[in-house]
């Protein structure tokens, strides 16, 4: 019995979700078998096995014909929260926040409740976009978020209508943020709103002792626009704070960019990163960096100028097709369980086009991914890259 159990536990069929081909000798591309499609769909959206309704449709060989209806049903189910944890946290790289350790002398306000509150805000925000079937552009900028008392204090927000502590004029009707309970908060102004100015994202793209415009700019290029910069040349040194102690961080970075090997990539990353310099290394808003006033303005290589994070988010929302393509690629990779190849480009084009026809709604993105050939089809035996 012990040897038999050992063999079962070591078997790849136990350790992995295997998708066996029901037509292994077919030379042509063909649809996944219905039960395998049910499994792929269920693990994509719920991270668990198919329910009775999916299995019943698979048994009747009707799942392919009812994909859109099933996707919309599954997104409304509480089990779709798994998409936030297993896709959203991977995409945003927020799993790194669980081990991130800011310098306690530089950031004495940092503690474990703040870390947990940061993660919870982003989770609740993503859940809201999915459950309310909002536009994916709300991920870039939105007029609401979710806060508890601890994170509200970090953001200097005291109630559900976004009033700031110490503000002379306050909007009426707000409920005070108290304790650990998270409440939906209507935001005022453009200081917060969307993923880019949430403390979780700002913190993981910082260094333990200071902000990092390079990391923040690169994160936007990679995760939002899908245009990652190339890796730095191996012989280029990092910014040496010991040698460049005079001036603001922006001025020191400009000295670093004088190296021709650095200038090309930094011209793309740095302006985006400096737009978020008003947020310190743990995402708290500020107007100065030590004795130096912060200048969050900049210009993209395209010539588009901005005065701060609010303007930059408007520019990024204007690049909705780029963002839609980037998110489509990442979601398809997650759903299909493989990287993308050149021959997947037509499928991505179709997903982005379908997304645009439905006002960039999140459900439209998921439906288009599930209906795409890379998700529901299998390559033929003689397929060549």
**Domain boundaries defined on the chain:** 85-317, 325-378
Q: What is the pLDDT of residue 73?
A: 97
Residue 233's pLDDT band (boundaries 50, 70, 90)? low
> Percentage of residues in the chain with pLDDT exceeding 90?
77
User: Where are the alpha helices (H) located in the chain, listed in sequence order?
Assistant: 2-10, 12-15, 34-45, 52-59, 67-76, 81-83, 89-91, 112-131, 149-155, 199-204, 213-219, 249-256, 260-274, 309-318, 320-336, 345-357, 362-371, 373-376
Nearest to 317 by CA among 142, 199, 189: 142
Q: Which residue has the tokens 């042509």?
A: 28
CB neighbours of residue 324 within 10 Å: 24
Nearest to 88 by CA among 115, 123, 48: 123
Q: What is the pLDDT of residue 254?
A: 67
Tens digit of each residue's pLDDT (9 = 90 or more) over 54-109: 999 999 999 999 999 999 999 999 999 999 999 999 999 999 999 999 999 999 99
User: In sequence order, which residues have a C-beta less than 8 Å from that of residue 144 and are 6 or more positions away?
Assistant: 128, 184, 185, 186, 187, 193
Q: Are 131 and 72 spatial neighbours (Cβ–Cβ below 8 Å)?
A: no
Q: What is the pLDDT of residue 259?
A: 60
Q: Which residue has the tokens 């909705």?
A: 320
Of residues 36 and 26, the one with the higher pLDDT is 36
Angle at Cα 22 formed by Cα 365 and Cα 30, nearest 5°? 45
Q: What is the pLDDT of residue 18?
A: 76
Residue 197's pLDDT band (boundaries 50, 70, 90)? very high
For 279, counting Cβ atoms within 10 Å of its Cβ (0-12 exposed, 13-18 middle, 19+ buried), the class is buried
Nearest to 250 by CA among 290, 304, 208: 290
- Is the confidence at residue 329, as pLDDT, over 60? yes
Nearest to 133 by CA among 367, 314, 321: 367
Of residues 5 and 241, the one with the higher pLDDT is 5
Q: What is the pLDDT of residue 242?
A: 43
Q: How far apart are the first and last CA of the chain?
A: 45
- Is the confidence at residue 29, as pLDDT, over 80? no
- Is the confidence at residue 204, as pLDDT, over 60? yes
Of residues 51 and 248, the one with the higher pLDDT is 51
Tens digit of each residue's pLDDT (9 = 90 or more) over 254-304: 665 556 556 656 778 889 999 999 999 999 999 998 888 999 999 998 899
Residue 375's pLDDT band (boundaries 50, 70, 90)? very high
Strand partners, 279: 285
Residue 158's pLDDT band (boundaries 50, 70, 90)? very high
- Is the confidence at residue 379, as pLDDT, over 90? no
For the question of whether the overall pTM of this predicted structure is more than 0.85, the answer is: yes
For 285, counting Cβ atoms within 10 Å of its Cβ (0-12 exposed, 13-18 middle, 19+ buried), the class is middle
Question: Among 38-52, 116-130, 147-161, 267-281, which is the least confidently predicted range?
Answer: 267-281
Report the pLDDT averaged over residues 137-142.
97
Report the pLDDT averaged over residues 9-15.
91
Name the strand (E) or helix (H) holding 147.
strand 144-147
- Is the confidence at residue 241, as pLDDT, over 60? no
């Amino acid at each position: 019995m012990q040897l038999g159990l050992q063999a079962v536990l070591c078997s790849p069929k136990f350790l992995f979700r295997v998708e066996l081909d029901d037509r292994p000798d077919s030379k042509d591309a063909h649809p996944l078998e219905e039960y395998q499609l049910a499994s792929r769909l269920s693990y994509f959206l719920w991270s668990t096995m198919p329910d009775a309704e999916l299995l019943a449709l698979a048994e009747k060989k009707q799942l392919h014909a009812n994909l859109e209806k099933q996707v919309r049903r599954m997104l409304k189910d509480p089990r779709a929260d798994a998409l936030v944890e297993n896709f959203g946290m991977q995409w945003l790289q927020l799993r790194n926040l669980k081990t991130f350790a800011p310098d306690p002398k530089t950031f004495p306000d940092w503690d474990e409740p703040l870390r947990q509150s940061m993660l919870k805000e982003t989770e609740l925000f993503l859940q809201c976009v999915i459950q309310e079937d909002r536009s994916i552009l709300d991920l870039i900028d939105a007029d609401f978020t979710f806060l508890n008392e601890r994170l509200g204090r970090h953001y200097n927000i005291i109630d559900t209508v976004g009033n700031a502590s110490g503000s002379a004029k306050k909007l009426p009707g707000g409920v005070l943020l108290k304790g650990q309970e998270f409440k939906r908060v209507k935001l005022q102004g453009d200081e917060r709103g969307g993923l880019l100015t949430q403390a979780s994202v700002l913190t993981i793209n910082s260094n333990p002792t200071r902000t990092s415009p390079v990391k923040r700019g690169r994160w936007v290029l990679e995760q939002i626009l899908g245009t990652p910069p190339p890796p730095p040349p191996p012989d280029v040194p990092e910014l040496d704070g010991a040698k460049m102690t005079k001036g603001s961080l922006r001025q020191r970075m400009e000295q670093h960019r004088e190296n021709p090997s650095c200038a090309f990539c930094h011209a793309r990353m740095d302006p985006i990163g400096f737009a978020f310099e008003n947020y310190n290394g743990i995402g708290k808003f500020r107007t100065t960096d030590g004795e130096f006033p912060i200048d969050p303005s900049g210009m993209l290589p395209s010539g588009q100028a901005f005065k701060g994070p609010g303007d930059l988010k408007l520019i990024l929302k204007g690049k909705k097709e780029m963002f839609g393509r980037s998110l489509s690629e990442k979601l398809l990779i997650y759903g299909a369980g493989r990287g993308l190849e050149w021959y997947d480009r037509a499928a991505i084009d179709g997903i982005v086009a379908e997304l645009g026809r439905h006002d960039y709604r999140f459900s439209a993105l998921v439906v288009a991914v599930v209906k795409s050939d890379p998700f529901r089809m299998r390559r033929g035996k003689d397929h060549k890259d």
